[in-house]
C-alpha cells in the first residue's frame, strides 16, 4: 500500500517512521496497520522518507518494524452542544466517566490557520466580572485577552474560576447566549477535579466544556490540549453563534510542553533555553482567539511565572498578545489580601475614557496616584512610624490602606474554604465607593473594617464613628 510505512526507532514519546512511496505531510495522523487505536502525529522530518512522530497513545504496544498507515488527515475531534457540561481529552473522549451521545456527529480538525485581518472585528464593550479590583483597575474587553500573571500558590486558578462562575451566572440571569471553554494544560489532576466539582455545585457547569491535559500526561497531550479547546471555541463561535469565554490554566505549561517536545527531537534551544519555535507556537495559539462578525471569543489566561521572574522568556512570549495584564503578588497574598492583585503592577488597554467612561477613568487615575504617593511614604513609616507624618500625608497613607482593603473580596467558589459568602459587586458601586474613600468619607473608620466587604457602606454598618 502506498500510504504504508514502518517504525524504525522508538525514543520514549518520539517515534521515527519511514515511508518509501506516498509521503505524509505535517500533522497527519498515523495508526498501526493492526490497531487503529494507536495514534501518531507527524511532527517533522530530518531526512528523505524519515519522519519524527509524536506518540499520542501508550507506547507499550509499539515495537520496531511495525507497519503504520497514514490516514491523510490531522487530528479531528467530535463537536456539538452535547459537550457542554462535560470534561473531555484531546480526542473528544469523556473524562468524567459518562458517555457522550451525539445526536449528529460533526468533526473538526484541531489545526486551523489564523483568520485574515479583514475578518477580525474589534469590540470596545466591557465584560463585567463583579470582582471589584478587576473591573476597576484592569477591566476586561469583550473579545479581548486577559493574562493572570503570578508565581505558584498566589491564587491564579481560584481567580480564574471565580470569573467563570460570575460571568456565566450573570449570562444566565440576563438570558445571554454565552458558553465557556476551559483548557487545563499541565495542571494537577486534583485541580481539574476540584474545578469540575466547583462548577457543578455553583450551577454553571452546564455552560462549560473542560478539555483536560493534566501534568501527568505526555508533553504531546499537554501541547495539543490547547488546540482541541480552541477548536471547540471556534465551533461555538461560528456554528452555534455563541459568545465564548475561553479559559486557559495555564499558558506557561503550553510553552513548557513545546520545550519538552523540542528537546526530545534534539532541536537546538534558543533564548533562555526555550525552543526556537516558541514565538510561532504562541502566535498559533493566540491569533485564533479572535472576534468575528458572528460572535466573540474572550480569552482569560492564567500564566505561571517560574521563580517569580516575569522576565522569563516563556512569560515574555505571551505578553504581546495580552490586552489586560493582571499581576498577582506574593507579598500581598501573604498579607491575607485576596485576590492578591498588585494594583500598580496591573494594566488594561481598555482604560480609556472613550471605553470605560470619564468617571471610571478619572477614578482610576486618582486612586493610582494616591497609591503611588502612599508607596513613597512606606519607607518613612517603617523608620519613624505613621504618627510622625504630616496630617496631609497621614490622610494619604490611611486612604491608600482603605482602598487596598476595600479591594479584597469574598468569592463564591471559595465559600467552603473561607466560610464567607461570595459577593458580586457592580462596577458602579465600586466606582462610587472608591471616590468616597478618596474624598475622605471613611477616614474615621479603622482600615480593617474594609476587609472583605461588598459595598463600603457595609463598613459603616459594622462600625459606629466615635464622637
Domain CATH for 172: 3.40.50.300
- Tell me, yes or no, whether 13 lies in a domain: yes
The residues carrying an active-site annotation are 156, 187-188
How many other CB atoms sit within 10 Å of the CB of residue 319? 13
Inside any domain, residue 467: no
89 with 146, same domain: the answer is: yes
| CATH number of the domain encompassing residue 384 | 1.10.1140.10
DSSP notation for 69-112: EE-SS--EEEESGGGTT-EE-TTS-BSSSS----SS-EEEES--
163 Cβ partners below 8 Å, 6+ apart? 129, 131, 134, 247, 300
281 and 382 part of one domain = no
Residue 1: exposure state from Cβ atoms within 10 A (0-12, 13-18, ≥19): exposed
Query: Which uninterrupted H or E stretch holds 42?
Result: strand 35-47
- State yes or no: pLDDT of 242 exceeds 70: yes
Half-sphere exposure of residue 252: CA atoms within 13 angstroms, side-chain side: 23
Residue 176 lies in a domain: yes
Considering 334, 351, 368, which residue would you say is the last residue of a domain? 351
Q: In terms of domains, do 173 and 134 share one? A: yes
Boundary-marking domain end, from 294, 318, 351: 351
Q: What is the CATH number of the domain that holds 69?
A: 2.40.10.170
CA distance 369 to 162: 29
Domain edge (last residue) among 324, 351, 378: 351
Give which of 71, 88, 79 is closest to 27, Cα–Cα.
Answer: 71
Q: Is residue 343 part of a domain?
A: yes
3-class SS of residue 266? coil
Helix (H, G, I), strand (E, B) or coil at 20: coil
Pair (39, 151) in one structural domain:
no
User: Looking at the 3D structure of the chain, how many domains does it have?
Assistant: 3
Range of the domain at 325: 77-351
Phi, psi dihedrals of residue 293, rounded to the nearest 5°: -65, -15
Summarize pLDDT for 373-429 with one digit per residue, the tens: 999 888 888 888 888 888 999 999 999 999 999 999 999 988 888 889 999 999 999
For cell 479590583, what's the residue? 133
Tens-place pLDDT, residues 66-81: 999 999 999 999 999 9
Local confidence band at 467 (pLDDT 50, 70, 90 cut-offs): very low
Residue among 360, 373, 375 at smallest CA distance from 435: 360
Residues 318 and 445 in one domain: no
Q: For 174, phi and psi rounded to 5 degrees?
A: -90, 5
Residues 11 and 105 in one domain: no
Residues 197 and 120 in one domain: yes
Whether residue 464 is predicted with pLDDT greater than 70 in this model: the reply is no
Residue 163 lies in a domain: yes
Same domain for 155 and 224, yes or no, is yes
Give dist(CA 395, CA 397) in Å, integer: 5
Please provide the DSSP assignment of 150-209 as one string.
E-TTSSHHHHHHHHHHHHHHHHHHTT--EEEEEEEES--HHHHHHHHHHHHHTT-GGGEE
- 271 and 403 co-located in one domain: no
Indicate if the pLDDT at residue 465 is higher than 60.
no
State the sign of the Cα–Cα–Cα–Cα dihedral 14, 17, 23, 28. Answer: negative
Question: Do 268 and 398 reside in the same domain of the chain?
Answer: no
Same domain membership, residue 130 and residue 117: yes
Is 378 a member of any domain?
yes
For 376, half-sphere exposure in the C-beta direction (CA atoms, 13 angstrom radius) is 8
pTM > 0.95 = no
Same domain? 116 vs 245: yes
How does pLDDT run across 115-160, given as a tens digit for each residue?
A: 888 888 887 889 999 999 999 999 999 999 999 999 988 999 899 9
Q: Is residue 246 part of a domain?
A: yes
Amino acid at each position: 500500500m502506498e500510504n504504508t510505512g514502518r517504525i524504525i526507532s522508538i525514543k520514549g514519546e518520539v517515534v521515527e517512521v519511514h515511508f518509501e512511496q506516498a509521503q505524509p505531510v505535517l500533522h497527519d495522523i498515523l495508526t498501526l496497520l493492526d490497531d487503529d487505536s494507536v495514534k501518531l502525529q507527524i511532527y517533522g522530518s530530518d531526512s528523505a522518507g524519515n519522519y519524527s512522530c509524536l506518540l499520542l497513545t501508550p507506547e507499550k504496544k509499539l515495537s520496531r518494524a511495525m507497519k503504520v498507515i497514514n490516514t491523510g488527515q490531522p487530528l479531528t475531534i467530535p463537536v456539538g452542544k452535547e459537550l457542554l457540561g462535560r470534561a473531555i481529552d484531546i480526542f473528544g473522549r469523556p473524562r468524567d466517566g459518562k458517555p457522550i451521545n451525539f445526536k449528529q456527529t460533526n468533526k473538526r480538525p484541531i489545526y486551523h490557520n489564523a483568520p485574515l485581518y479583514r475578518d477580525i472585528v474589534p469590540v470596545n464593550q466591557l465584560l463585567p466580572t463583579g470582582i471589584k479590583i478587576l473591573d476597576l483597575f484592569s477591566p476586561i474587553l469583550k473579545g479581548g485577552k486577559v493574562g493572570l500573571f503570578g508565581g505558584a500558590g498566589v491564587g491564579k486558578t481560584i481567580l480564574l474560576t471565580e470569573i467563570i462562575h460570575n460571568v456565566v451566572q450573570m449570562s444566565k440571569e440576563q438570558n445571554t447566549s454565552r458558553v465557556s471553554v476551559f483548557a487545563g494544560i499541565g495542571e494537577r489532576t486534583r485541580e481539574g477535579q476540584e474545578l469540575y466539582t466547583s462548577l457543578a455545585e455553583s450551577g454553571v457547569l452546564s455552560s462549560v466544556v473542560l478539555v483536560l491535559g493534566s501534568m501527568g500526561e505526555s508533553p504531546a497531550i499537554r501541547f495539543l490540549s490547547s488546540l482541541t479547546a480552541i477548536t471547540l471555541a471556534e465551533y461555538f463561535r461560528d456554528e452555534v453563534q455563541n459568545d465564548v469565554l475561553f479559559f486557559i490554566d495555564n499558558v506557561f505549561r503550553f510553552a513548557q510542553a513545546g520545550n519538552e517536545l523540542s528537546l526530545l527531537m534534539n532541536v537546538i534551544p534558543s533564548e533562555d533555553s526555550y525552543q526556537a519555535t516558541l514565538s510561532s507556537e504562541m502566535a498559533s495559539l493566540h491569533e485564533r482567539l479572535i472576534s468575528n462578525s458572528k460572535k466573540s471569543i474572550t480569552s482569560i489566561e492564567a500564566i505561571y511565572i517560574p521563580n517569580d521572574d516575569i522576565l522569563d522568556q516563556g512569560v515574555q512570549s505571551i505578553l504581546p498578545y495580552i490586552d489586560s495584564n493582571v499581576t498577582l503578588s506574593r507579598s500581598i497574598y501573604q498579607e491575607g489580601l485576596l485576590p492578591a492583585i498588585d494594583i500598580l503592577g496591573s494594566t488594561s488597554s481598555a482604560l480609556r475614557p472613550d471605553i470605560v467612561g470619564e468617571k471610571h477613568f478619572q477614578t482610576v487615575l486618582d486612586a493610582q496616584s494616591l497609591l503611588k504617593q502612599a508607596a513613597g511614604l512606606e519607607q518613612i513609616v517603617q523608620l519613624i512610624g505613621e504618627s510622625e507624618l504630616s496630617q496631609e500625608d497621614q490622610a494619604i497613607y490611611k486612604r491608600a490602606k482603605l482602598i487596598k482593603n476595600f479591594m479584597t473580596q469574598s468569592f463564591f467558589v471559595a465559600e467552603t474554604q473561607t466560610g464567607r459568602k461570595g459577593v458580586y459587586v457592580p462596577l458602579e458601586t465600586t466606582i462610587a465607593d472608591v471616590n468616597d474613600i478618596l474624598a475622605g468619607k471613611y477616614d474615621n473608620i479603622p482600615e480593617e473594617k474594609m476587609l472583605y466587604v461588598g459595598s463600603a457602606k457595609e463598613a459603616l454598618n459594622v462600625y459606629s464613628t466615635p464622637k
